[in-house]
Structure 1
Amino acid sequence: MIRFCARATAAELTKLFGLPAVLAAVLGTIGAAVAITGALAASPAGVNEPVAVVLQAVPYLQAGTISLGVLAVGTEYADGQIHTTLRCVPDRLAVPAAKTLAYLAWATVTAVAALGIGLLTARVALAARNVPVVTDGLPWNVVGAAVHLALIGLLGLTFAALLRAVVSALVVTLSLVLVVSPVLDAVTPHARYLPDRAGDLLYRPDPAQVLTPATGLLVLLGWVVVIGTGAVAAFRRRDA
């Protein structure tokens, strides 16, 4: 079973590499990191520390990993490729598991590359302004930001698996994260339990918050597990 799932995952990794939209999402996320961190660091009114600059860019980079997660599943329904996938891998538990692992591999590389290049861009932009840059070792909140980006994109994957459509999944996930969440955060403290707000604590912990980084991670994972469980259950029952 493990070997079978490993082969399916390898096939999904190769499949994603062959999708122009996936490559565009990856390169777009990295390009956005460069543009946003460069602009923030070049602004005299901005912060003067590379890590702080990169963390300010994370909310905007969520769109990139969400798109990656949605495309990892949704494109198969758009072109009917899911029928071929199920003929090659008839196990309806192995297919979502392989797609999830393949997505996580791509999302991790994308998040690390975007944040790493963003840090470098911020350093260069700050140096151009003659701002002294201090290196204090590995910034663990940047690691937390990478985890957040990968998991928030995984939420998009679960919505795509549940809705079986690229556009619908993108609209639902991006609206939840970029529209509903900021609006509710302005009117109710319960917005802290939304997936992106809980995940924010992985890289921007707030001592005054009810949730800690660990419990915020659990809340975000809870969203993924609940929606993902529904998606897998529906996938096992309905036609492709």
Structure 2
Amino acid sequence: MDFYAFPPIAAVIDGAYTLLMGLAGFLEPLLGGAAAAASVVLVTLVVRAALISVGVALAKGEQTRTRIAPKLQELQRKHANNPERLQRELRALYAEEGTSPFAGCLPMLVQAPVVGIIYALFILPVVNGHPNLLLDQTLLGVPLGHSLVGTIAAGVPQPLDLLVFAGLVVAIAAVGFLTLRAARPGGPLAVPRPAASTAPAPGAPAMPDLSKALLPLHFLTAGIAMFVPLAAGLYLLTTVAWTLVQRLVLRRRYPLG
């Protein structure tokens, strides 16, 4: 079953599509042929801004995990031979701190449907039974519905096509590089190391470090951008750039150490 063909979801996507095309029409007198591409970027920024509260929740959760890490290690050391007692003490600690081992997962799940619906606008050739005319629009002469891999597979690509796609992929990779650089020890996104490392005791739930695990995805995103339509690539670039800036701002507001 096509998830996006499910009537309620198709209707929501169609509504978002109508707003997006309306924005493109509004911008056309100002930006000409770049109006559709600009609308993709603007809609992505609006969606990311609406999800700022999710980013704040993740930042607070990361701050909490870092703050209670020494207490977790002490409990794991103290009750390493008593898993049942350890579980009780861990539950009490999480309750006292108002968190849980999976506190960072819920915000990620909350934003997933919104991000999925918006992303669908940039990849679906048909929206709720009618053609997705956004993908027929162009950026510097390159259709928003074309992908780098698809263009190469279709024949000899034009130099301008390769230049536009290469610029997009390089830009996404550059954001990934900056994100990883900022996450290095001493960088603004670095995760403080505990004074002493203690292996988790048997049965002790480890608090997942989602932010660290997601960092390499920026480079994976650059690879994905080669296969998806140009409109989706613009969405990906805007998203990773926003994410980097947001993380830098929130880390200053909710420092880890």
Question: TM-score scaled to structure 1, two decimals?
Answer: 0.33
More helix as a share of residues: 1
Structure number with greater CO (CA < 8 Å, separation at least 6) is 2
Which of 1 and 2 has greater Rg?
Answer: 2
